[in-house]
Structure formats: structure tokens, C-alpha cells
A and B are shown apart, each in its own frame.
Chain A
Amino acid sequence: MATQEIALPGVSGSSVSLIERLHGLVVTVDHKKLGLMYIGTALIFLVIAGLMAVSIRLQLVIPNNTLLEPDVFNRFFTMHGTSMVFLVGMPIIAGFGNYLVPLMIGTRDMAFPRMNAFGYWMFLFGGLLLYFSYLGAPGLAGHGSAPDVGWFAYAPLTARAFSRGHSTDYWILSLLLASVGSTVSAINVIATIFALRCPGMKLMRMPLLVWLMLVTNFMILLALPGLSGAQIMLLIDRYLGGHFFDTQAGGSAVIWQHFFWIFGHPEVYILMIPAFACLSEIIPVFSRKPIFGYPIMVGATAMIGLISVSVWAHHMFTVGMTSVGNTFFAISTFMVAVPTGIKIFNWLGTMYGGRIRLELPMLFCIAFLFQFLIAGLTGVMLAVVPFNWQLTDSYFVVAHFHYTLVGAFLFGIFAGFYYWYPKAVGRLLDPRLGLWHFWLFVIGFHLTFDTLHFAGFLGMPRRIFTYDAGRGWDTLNFIATVGALFQAIAVLLLAINIVRSVKKGKLAGNDPWDAWTLEWSTSSPPPDYNFATMPAVRSRRPLWDLKHPEDPDWKYE
């Protein structure tokens, strides 16, 4: 390994002081460091927003609880949702994209390294600005604190008359900043994938993760301006006296919902597709088979991308659209289940007949498959308009989207952590702690979100800060809160594992999982220049070709 080290000026071993290392983080344009910074920052926000979720659950553990004041509760669910989507989900995607895409396509950095750093700092300052609202939002009039209008900030609740002080302004401006970061990061990933592939890495030879990152980042470009545009309009309304969402002057509150969900629904897939990407890399390696139906996977992802931009108004069935509108959005929502189902079958097809190794990344993938299936089924249920009328804004919806975003997205990302951590750090995560993390999280997840479905059936609306006893919700809420504590402990174990294994984990070597994509051909962690000599590939599994010269893939492609 060390034979390939090239001494670079300014890059020395471990004898660097803390200040120098921090300075190194501030000035770095290296895609690997930025990728890890994205993920590290996202994990900090995950803990903060997760603690908010735990507080919300503790407030709801018994009827008529008084742990949180009503307005604190409103701030907590707003900040929880906003943080989880923009400060956890989006940067984790950017982090995985940054870290893995150049390594997987065999290049030395992103297409625009400085723009890459710019994107990270925009995201970080956006996040800090959002949390600064706790101090800065009261303004001169003394009203307002952190944003409390829900993560989708429906008009007219955000109008100046109803949202005094600067809480909503912090929500707008911090997300605009973070969106700038996401946009430049997306442009950068797309340019890298198209322009910097190593020789032989044709589009249809790219690892599926790279393909899925490409689709996700295109979706960011298509969806994010919906939110930014609507937020600019809201700023105009709030500060220049505009009337976009002002019903008194002929404006429409519903059009905010349209604009928000034109962004908001593709956003769900923007988050989900990178989780699919992790699965598409991990399941083949741990089933010892190439991915089943590679071109179909690519096509299904593109289909998800296309269809998901035409399903947004299924969030708005109760707003009073025409029956034509309702029908269109119900049908398009059913349709998006088709390519998603194809993906599930392809993962199962990959596992079928394979020699499955039940290591931690694979365990998370298998849990993902079960949970994502249920999440998809409840999604199809919610697309049935009359059913939706009954259950919209109830805990059934809360349970449904937490099934996708925790049960699927987070599980996929956790699988990715266990799989690529040895590449990024050079040491494996401790498998025993990992098993504890896995089982506690699975149990906690199901305790919380399985039960919340039933609370929804029994009529519990979302976002209420407390409820009366005797409505049949007491036991369900109690179980859900116990589950939340399980999940919190599990995430704590993961955090301990991540920190501890940096020094104490088992040495990984270049290729601990006997995998097939290019990132495993270089040392762990990879040197600054990634590859000492530029690789060239002849098939989708270049490392297979290298390890099995007697039976290489390229003979069959």
C-alpha cells in the first residue's frame, strides 16, 4: 500500500496540530474531505433534530402532558422536519455523491473542486442560520422565535399578519442558502459524471450508485427552484407588500401548496434514490452475484424521476381540486409504484440463489426491503382519493412517510455507513456494537411507527401537542414513545461506534468486502490523488475482472 504514497508538499502524516487540521478542513477542496464534512455535519443535525423528535414523543407519551408548551411543540415539529429534510437528508446525499462518485468512476476529484467547497459552506451557513433563529428571530417587536409554521409553511400562516417577528424569514433565507449549496453541488456531480469518467467507463458501465446519483441530482435541479421561487415570492409578500399568497387581494393560498409540493414530492424521491443507490451496490456484493437487470434498474430510476415530478398534488386531495385533477394525480401516483416495484424485484432477484453473507450492511438492506415495501403499500393506499380524504393529516400519514424516510432512507444510508466506513477511515465499524444498533433500531422503529398507523386509523390528527385520555390513543402513543427511546439509544450506539472505530476498529485493508467497484482498488482511506495511475475499465465490475482474469466480465458484456 505504502509503495504508492507520493510525498506532496503540505501533506504530512499524523503529526499535525488540531489547529492545522481544522484549518485544513476550512481550506480544503478535496472531494473526500468535503464528502465526510457533509456527512459529519449532517449527523450532528441528525442528533439535534432527533432529540427534538424524542421530545415530541415524550410530550405525547401520556394524555394532557405538559412537558412542552404548545408553541415550543410547534417550533420543534417545524425544526425537526425542516432539519431532517434540508440539513440531514440533502447533505447526506451530497456527502455520498461527493465521496463516492469520483472514486467509483475512477477520477481524482470533482469537476469543480472550489465550487464543491462553496456548496458545503452554503449548506453549513444555511443550517446555522436556521438554528440562529432561536436567538435572532424575535427582532424588535419581541415576537417570534424559531420557525413554527410546519416544514411546508402553508400560506396564509406565513403572512406577516399571522407570523410576526422573523421566524418565517429565517426559515426562508436559511433554506434559500442551503438550496444554493444543493444546486451547485448537483451541477458539480452531474458535470463530474459526464466529463470525468476514466477510460472505458461508458455510461452503461457505471456502477448503479453513480447512475442513481445522476438521476437524483437532475431531480434536484428540476425540483429545488420550485421551493426557491415560492420562497422568493413569499419574501416579496412579506417585505415588499406583494400579493402572491394574499387572498384579500385576489391571491391564492393554494398556489403556495402547488409550488411547495412541486418541489416537495420530487424531494422525497431525491432522498430515496440515493438510498436505492446504496442498496444497489451492497446487495450484489453480499449476495455474491452481479446486480440483476442492470439496464432495467437504470430505466426504472429514470422512470421514477420522470413520474415523480407529476404526482405532487396527491398531497392536496383535501384542498378542493377538480375530480379531473384528483384522478390525474391518483393515477400518476399509482404509476410511480410500478418502477419502484421493479426495483424491489430486481434486488430480490439479485439475492435469489446468491450466497448471501449476513453482515451488517446486508442486514440493513434486508430490513430496508421489508420496510420499504410496507411504506410503498401505505403510499398506494393514500393515493386512493376517498381513503386519503379520511386519513390525510392524521398519524397514518406521519407513520407512512416516516416508514419511507426512516424505515427506508435511513436504513439504506446506515447500510452505506457500514459498507463504506472502512473505505473512508481504513478501519471497520465494530460489528458487535453494530448488531446492537441494528436490532435496537429495528425494534424501536417498528414499536414507534407500526403503532402510529393505528393511532391514525383511530383519528389522531398530526401536530396536536396533546390529547384527552380515553380516545383509544393512550396505549399506542405510549408504545410509540418507548420505541423512540429505543431508536435514540441505537443512534447513540452508532455515534459511539463511529467515533471509537476511528482508532480501535479492525484494520480494513483495501477491499474488506471482496467488492467489485473501483473505490475498493485504492487504499483505505484513499490517498489525496485517489489513484496513483488512472484506471481503465472494460466492464461493470472492473475488480472482478482483475481478480478473475480467467473469467472476466467483459467477455460477456
Chain B
Amino acid sequence: MINDASLPLAFEPGGWNLPSSRKVALVSLILTETTLFSIFVAAYLFYVGKSLTGPMPRDVLALPVLATIFLLSSSVTVVLAERAFNRDRVGLFKLFWFATIVLAGLFLTMTVVEWRKLIYHDGLTISTNLFGTTFYSLVGLHASHVVVGMCLLSLVFVLSLRGFVTIMHRERLQMISWYWHFVDAVWIVVFTVVYVIGR
């Protein structure tokens, strides 16, 4: 019988390396988010062309080229920001990080413009027809993720302005950037499904 609250056993030779818990957690989060998006994408694809009344996608949807450029280039700036951060170039880091926030904001602005046109000009709301229901749900789900990402980015930016972001936060910044890449990757899927296949 062992009556000792410990179990010291011979340590095996060689190092003991484990993955970082943050990375595992973030990958798991992305996995579950991917499943959530898959459900909405499946619903969108299932209902393509099943609306009983107009307006139809081909009549009202335009390719959101500008918005796509904004969002995809924000993935580049966030990488540049991270690189600058790792090289200890704080000014450059803040610049690129801010650029990422601005690009995300521009993307959301483009979404606002698009939705405004759809609602006021084309009369398409979430309750108009199946296309409206599925379109606003899927694009809105993605946009809500952009908003969350923007909040995270802005929080880091404000903290970095006040000098609270140091090299010990390196991995946290990396996690935000991974999440941001995920949001961008989802946009590519949404773009393809909604604006290419669904039109």
C-alpha cells in the first residue's frame, strides 16, 4: 500500500514535449465552428433555387469583390503584424495590427452597404423568401464572427497602445491571428457558396 501523495518514478531519458494547450484549444474551437458553419452551408445549398417567390439571387446579388479583397488582405496584414511583433518592432506591429482592424471594418461596411441595398432597394429581408432566410443567416453568421474577431483585435490594439502587450503575449496574439485566418477561410467558402454556386 502506498500512503504517499506522490508517485515519483524513474524519469525516462529524453525531453518531454507537449503541444501548447492554447493551440489545442483553438484548433478544437475552430473544429466545432467549422461544423456549425457546415450546417448553415448545407442549409443554404439545400435551399438554393427553392424559393417560391422573388427576389432571386441572380437578380439582386452582385459579386462582393471589394469586400473580399478587404477581408483577404487583412489576413496578410495580421501576419505582417505578427512578424513585426516577433522581431520586436513595436511601431510596425501597431501599424499592421491597426490596418487589420481597418480592413475588417471596411469589410463590414461593405456588408452594410450590400444589405442596405438588398433591404431598401430590392425588398429582400430575412422573412421575404427562403433565399432571404438562408442568405442573411449564413452571411450574418460569418459577419458576427468578423465582429468578434474585430473586438479581439481592437482589445489587443488598445492594450498595445498603453504598452501592455509584451513578448509574453506572443502566443495569444498568434491565436487571435489563427482565429482571424479561420474567419477569412470561411469567407472563401461563403463567397463560393452564396455568390458563385448559389447565383
A222 close to B35 (CB less than 8 A):
yes
Query: Which residue from B1, B21, B32 sits with its C-beta under 8 Å from A221?
Result: B32
The verdict on A57 contacting chain B, using a C-beta distance below 8 Å, is no
Query: Which residue from A3, A111, A259, A523 sits with its C-beta under 8 Å from B25?
Result: A111
The verdict on A527 contacting chain B, using a C-beta distance below 8 Å, is yes
B40-67 at interface with A (beta carbon < 8 Å): 40, 43, 46-47, 50-53
Among B1, B29, B39, B127, which residue has the most Cβ atoms of chain A within 10 A? B39
In the complex with contacts A535-B6, A542-B9, A240-B36 CB distance below 8 A: no
User: How many angstroms from the CA of A537 to the CA of B9 in the assembled complex?
Assistant: 6
User: How many angstroms from the CA of A181 to the CA of B43 in the assembled complex?
Assistant: 25
B3 close to A509 (CB less than 8 A):
yes
Q: Distance (Å) between the CB of B137 and the closest chain A CB? A: 6
The verdict on B130 contacting chain A, using a C-beta distance below 8 Å, is yes
Query: Which residue from B16, B20, B25 sits with its C-beta under 8 Å from A187?
Result: B25
Q: Distance (Å) between the CB of A184 and the closest chain B CB? A: 9
The verdict on A13 contacting chain B, using a C-beta distance below 8 Å, is no
Encoded as 1 (CB less than 8 Å from any A CB) or 0, chain B from 61 to 79 comes to 0000000000000000000
**CB neighbours of B31 from chain A (8 A):** 218, 221-222
The verdict on B168 contacting chain A, using a C-beta distance below 8 Å, is no
A-B contact number at CB 8 A: 174
A531 close to B7 (CB less than 8 A):
yes
The verdict on A532 contacting chain B, using a C-beta distance below 8 Å, is yes
B107-121 at interface with A (beta carbon < 8 Å): none
**CB neighbours of B16 from chain A (8 A):** 199-200
A1-16 at interface with B (beta carbon < 8 Å): 1, 3-4
The verdict on A161 contacting chain B, using a C-beta distance below 8 Å, is no
In the complex with contacts A225-B35, A531-B7, A533-B8, A191-B130 CB distance below 8 A: no
- CB closest residue in chain A, given B10: A538
User: How many angstroms from the CA of A537 to the CA of B1 in the assembled complex?
Assistant: 18
| Residues of A participating in the B interface, judged by any CB pair closer than 8 Å | 1, 3-4, 106, 111-112, 183, 186-188, 190-192, 194-197, 199-200, 218, 221-226, 228-230, 232-233, 236-237, 240-244, 249-252, 255, 259, 262, 509-511, 518, 521-523, 526-527, 531-533, 535-538, 542-543, 545-547
Other than the known A232-B141, A259-B39, what 13 A-B pairs have Cβ atoms closer than 8 Å? A1-B4, A4-B5, A186-B32, A195-B21, A222-B35, A225-B39, A230-B39, A242-B137, A244-B137, A527-B5, A542-B9, A545-B9, A546-B7
